[in-house]
Chains A and B, each alone.
Chain A
Amino acid sequence: MTSRLNLFLILGLVALASIAFSLLQGSDLISSYQLLKTVLHQGDDLSAEIVLFIRLPHALTAFVTGGLLALAGAMMQVLVRNPLADPYVLGISGGAAVMTLLCMLLGISGYWLTGGAWAGSLLAMLLVFLCTKKIAGQPQQLLLTGVALASGFSALSSLILSISPDHTLRGMLFWLVGDLSEAHLPVLEGCVLLIGLMMSLSFARELNLLVRGEKAAKALGVNTHRLQWKLYLLSSFLTATAVTLAGCIGFVGLIVPHMFRLLFGYDHRFLLPGCVLMGGSLLTIADMLSRRLFFPQQLPVGIVMVLIGIPIFIFLLQKKTA
């Protein structure tokens, strides 16, 4: 038990450190001394403004997005009982992408773009349900339906890309690989993450049973029908929030739950909060690197995420099997 507490202490510190690093290292170097002064309200106005109004929203947006995706991914993997599942596997992001690209094509921006992403996600959720008729009971069918719908959305996205004028293409591509450049202070999304985590923790022990299949969970008294509906709605909602916030950042939702399992085990009561902290930290670091590596050129954060994630993950996998 104490070792688990230590684990969360460490993960919490890593999370804080990643945010602090992100505040320190921006496109414009601000020393830690100045950062400290800013925090204490004694810094000069310009650096204070950079830290508070540009870097802090950026860092927090990255953290919240990473947390949302990792949490949604961990739940989605249990819902379809498949370790290859990620938050996008049921086509939630695909639906959001089609609607967002359509909005961009039509020259719509700002809040309408956010609304478009939301509408697309909800549409995808509805479509998955209509096509499978039931969410609980047949994880295999749910997964295959989701994959089929996701391919459909992907084809539609490509179609929109191919007919879009050149000047909108860059924005579209950035959105598709994940983009944090339009970050605002993610108060609402942060609340969604916190509430989502609380809700998921309320059924975390039941997830330990559901991974063994529906019958096994039922035999130990779990209302599997209700549990799977909760899983579906909550993970879809979290994914939609993340996608609306930052576009389709891949990899976090797939890899972070596996990283946690490799390092710290399979109990969902630890896995879910652990994924939030790990996913958040990882995306914050990726975001910092994406702005810092080829300064002043900025890379899409989704690409950096994948590039730093793959070696870490393969290292862990190798270490575990060896």
Chain B
Amino acid sequence: MKNLLAAKNITLAIADKILCRDLNLEIRAGDVWGILGPNGCGKTTLLHALARLHSVKQGDIFLHDKKISAFSGKELSRRLGILFQDTQESFSQTVQEYCLTGRHPHLSHFAWENTDDKKIAAQALKQMELENKLTQQIHTLSGGERRRLSLATVLTQTPSVYLLDEPTNHLDIYHQIKVLNYFKTLAETQAIGVMMSLHDVNMAQRYCNKVLMLFDNGETLQGTPLDVFTTENFSRLYQHSFRKGIVENISCWLP
């Protein structure tokens, strides 16, 4: 299947610290990638680099087989959406207004959101169970609701590649499963690609078909969860011993 997003031999660094060296990565349609690694190993930086928000020290990134540097800002964000780890707001907005900003890359300069755009936003808000809060100001939302609003906004952007930085932050178990399940189904049915950083290895095993481990020393390991999920790898990744259990024929990992 065709590559949606590909990284070729990229090296990422912050100041002098090398985060990953000569990384090759391919996100294909239907893929749900999980990035695992300890704090500060470069999960966020990698996602930002893939979204052209952080420069790579070496190597190239291709979106639909075209260098990402060749896209204009709006062209890029029509195809690639990123969810940030957290958000900052100096001023309030209503839930609907906030979500509709996801349509920005699809609108020409002076155009206003039309009924189709509003339908897309309403659909995304419904998926995230926020349809009853359209006119509420965002600063009155709870942490989990804010997170779901950010997710609805990136869904409203309708890209073909989703880069999600800890999408389950602030979410309760019900919503974590709902959100991860939704993106998995989306990837499988709509031929899109998802890459997300996660801290819960059991969730990663359940919802990702590919996994990238970023080690503290800049080394990387990738493969299917079945291949790379071992107690040795986890212990090395998190500097903490792991045990494996089997529940109803599914392996689970206990730190």
Residues of A in contact with B (beta carbons under 8 Å apart): 77, 81-83, 202, 205-206, 208-209, 211-213, 215-216, 218-223, 261, 265-267, 269
User: By the criterion CB–CB under 8 Å, are A212 and B94 in contact?
Assistant: no
Q: How far is the CB of B42 from chain A (nearest CB, A)?
A: 16
Q: Are A215 and B102 in contact (CB under 8 A)?
A: no
The minimal Cβ–Cβ distance linking B95 to chain A, given in whole angstroms, is: 12
Contact of A209 among B90, B92, B101, B112 (CB under 8 A): B101
Residues of B within 8 A of A82 (CB): 90
The proximity string for B residues 68-79 relative to A, scoring 1 for CB distances below 8 Å and 0 otherwise, is 000011111110
Assess whether A221 is in contact with B104, with CB atoms less than 8 Å apart.
yes
Partner of A205, one of B72, B81, B84, B104: B104
B88 touches A202 (CB 8 A): no
Residues A221 and B84 in contact, CB atoms below 8 Å apart: no
Asked whether, in the complex, the Cβ of B84 is within 8 Å of the Cβ of A215, the reply is yes
**Most-contacted residue by chain B among A218, A221, A222, A261 (CB, 10 A):** A221
Interface residues of B (CB under 8 A from A): 48, 51, 53, 72-78, 81-82, 84, 87-94, 97, 101-102, 104-105, 107, 109-110, 112, 157
Task: Report which of B51, B90, B92, B109 forms a contact with A219, defined as CB distance below 8 A.
Answer: B51
What CA separation (Å) do A81 and B87 show in the bound complex? 13
Which A residues are in CB contact (< 8 Å) with B93? 208, 265-267
Separation in Å of the B73 CB from the closest CB of chain A? 4
**Residue of B at shortest CB range from A220?**
B104
Minimum distance in angstroms from A202 CB to a CB of chain B: 7
Bound-state Cα–Cα, A296 to B170, Å: 64
A269 to B157 CA separation, bound complex (whole angstroms)? 20
B90 touches which of A211, A215, A265, A269 (Cβ 8 Å)? A211
Contact residues in A for B76 (Cβ distance below 8 Å):
221
In the assembled complex, the CB of A253 is this many whole angstroms from the nearest CB of chain B, namely 16
| 29 A-B contacts (beta carbon < 8 Å) | A77-B90, A81-B88, A83-B91, A202-B109, A202-B110, A205-B107, A208-B93, A208-B101, A209-B101, A211-B90, A212-B88, A213-B88, A216-B84, A216-B88, A219-B53, A219-B81, A219-B84, A220-B101, A220-B102, A220-B157, A221-B74, A221-B75, A221-B76, A221-B104, A222-B73, A222-B104, A266-B93, A266-B94, A267-B97
Residues of A within 8 Å of B72, CB to CB, are 221
Is the pair B53, A83 in contact by a Cβ cutoff of 8 Å? no
Residues of A within 8 A of B97 (CB): 208, 265-267
Smallest CB separation, A322 vs chain B (Å): 14
Chain A nearest CB: distance from B52 CB in Å? 8
Q: Note all chain B residues with C-beta closer than 8 A to A209.
A: 101, 104
Given contacts A208-B101, A216-B87, 8 further A-B contacts (CB under 8 A): A202-B109, A212-B88, A216-B84, A218-B73, A220-B102, A221-B74, A221-B75, A221-B78
User: Which residues of B lie under 8 Å from residue A77 when comparing CB positions?
Assistant: 90-91
Indicate if the CB atoms of B92 and A266 lie closer than 8 Å.
Answer: yes
A-side contacts of B89, CB under 8 Å: 211-212
User: Which single residue of chain A is at the shortest CB-CB distance from B113?
Assistant: A205
Given contacts A219-B84, A220-B157, contact A211 B78 (CB under 8 A): no
The complex places the Cα of A212 from the Cα of B77 at a distance, in Å, of: 16
Chain A residues with CB below 8 A from B48, complex form: 215
Q: Which residue of B lies closest to A269 (CB)?
A: B112
Complex alpha-carbon distance, A215 and B52, angstroms: 10
State A213–B53 Cα separation when bound (angstroms). 13
Q: Which 8 A-B pairs have the closest CB atoms?
A: A221-B74, A221-B77, A221-B73, A221-B105, A81-B90, A220-B104, A213-B88, A266-B93
Q: How far is the CA of A223 from the CA of B77 in the complex (A)?
A: 12
| Contact of A265 (CB < 8 Å), options: B51, B77, B94 | B94
Report the nearest A residue to B48, measured CB to CB.
A215
Cβ-defined contact, B84 with A83, below 8 A: no
**Chain B residues in 8 Å Cβ range of A206:** 104
Contacts of A221 in B (CB 8 A): 72-78, 104-105
CB distance from A321 to the nearest CB of B (A): 12
Residues from chain A with a CB closer than 8 A to the CB of B157 are 220
A97 to B56 alpha-carbon distance, docked (Å): 47
How distant is the Cα of A265 from the Cα of B95 in the complex, in angstroms? Answer: 12
- A20–B119 CA distance with the chains assembled, in angstroms: 44
Specify which chain B residues have a CB less than 8 angstroms from the CB of A267 in the assembled complex. 93, 97
A221 to B159, CA, bound (A): 12
Residues of A within 8 A of B81 (CB): 219
Residue of B nearest to A139 (CB): B90
Q: In whole Å, how far is A3's beta carbon from the nearest beta carbon of chain B? A: 12
Q: How far is the CA of A82 from the CA of B89 in the complex (A)?
A: 10
Which of these, A81, A212, A218, A266, contacts B53 with CB under 8 Å?
A: A218
B contact residues around A223 at 8 Å (CB): 73
In the complex the two chains form, what is the Cα distance from A153 to B81 in whole Å? 45
Which chain A residues border B74 with CB–CB below 8 Å? 221
